[in-house]
Amino acid sequence: MCDVEAERYPPAAEWFFAELALLRGRWDVFAHPFYERWSSCELRAGELRDYAEEHDHLVVALATVAQRAAQKADGLLGDVMAKHVAVVEGRIAQWREFAAETGWGAGTAWHYASEAYPETIHCVDVWLGDPGRSLAIDLVTLAAAEPEPDPVIRAGLAGLLAGEDPFAVLAHAEAVHRAYWTVLDVLEGAVQR
């Protein structure tokens, strides 16, 4: 029985996911001062508009990563990723509804056309990376950037780890977390543009 369990859940994959959980804890966005103020409904109108605008770039980037992963994946993982694309594209629509609630829209002076913060551009670059990168890097980007990855995405990532340098994959996951934390840092201290 132990041999079967070792094949289903290789120790290297369990170690990897334990390390990924530690990264998530270290870079817990819900513990960031900006998110704490967001959760406490303490953000001012201008801060909400900034957040809506900057975060829009990120939800679009995440949808692009999901689309790429779906194109690279096959089998059950490909099917799950195709469904996941619809989920993340739905988040774009939800986010833009939120943006409209903050005052974005036709007939207003505020719109998405202003330049993103350099930290947001960097975060998008980290999340998107090279389009030809491995499926494992796309999946770890999704796993790191989303609150809780789909179990099938996790299983797919576990299956792909054998062909990857797990330290490089973890380094990318940390870069994903760190880049988003930096965006939140800027939003927390942002001066109105």
What pLDDT digit, counting tens, does each position of 113-147 carry? 568 899 999 999 999 999 999 999 999 999 999 87
Q: Is residue 7 part of a domain?
A: no
Gyration radius of the chain over CA positions: 18
Q: 94: Cβ–Cβ under 8 A, 6 or more apart, which residues?
A: none
| The pLDDT of residue 101 is above 50 | yes
H helices of the chain, where?
A: 2-8, 11-26, 33-39, 45-72, 75-101, 118-128, 135-145, 151-160, 166-189
Euclidean distance between CA atoms 168 and 102, whole angstroms: 39
Residue type, 121: I
Residue bearing the bigger pLDDT, 55 or 109: 55
| The pLDDT of residue 111 is above 90 | no
pLDDT, position 76: 86
Q: Is residue 2 part of a domain?
A: no
pLDDT, position 110: 52
Host domain of residue 114 = 17-189
Residues 166-175 have a mean pLDDT of 95
Q: Is residue 43 part of a domain?
A: yes
Euclidean distance between CA atoms 37 and 25, whole angstroms: 19
Q: Is residue 3 part of a domain?
A: no
Q: Is residue 72 part of a domain?
A: yes
Q: Report the CATH number that the domain containing residue 35 is assigned in CATH.
A: 1.20.910.10
Q: Is residue 12 part of a domain?
A: no
pLDDT, position 154: 83
Mean per-residue pLDDT of the chain: 86
Euclidean distance between CA atoms 160 and 169, whole angstroms: 11
pLDDT, position 130: 96
In the chain, how many domains are there? 1
pTM: 0.87
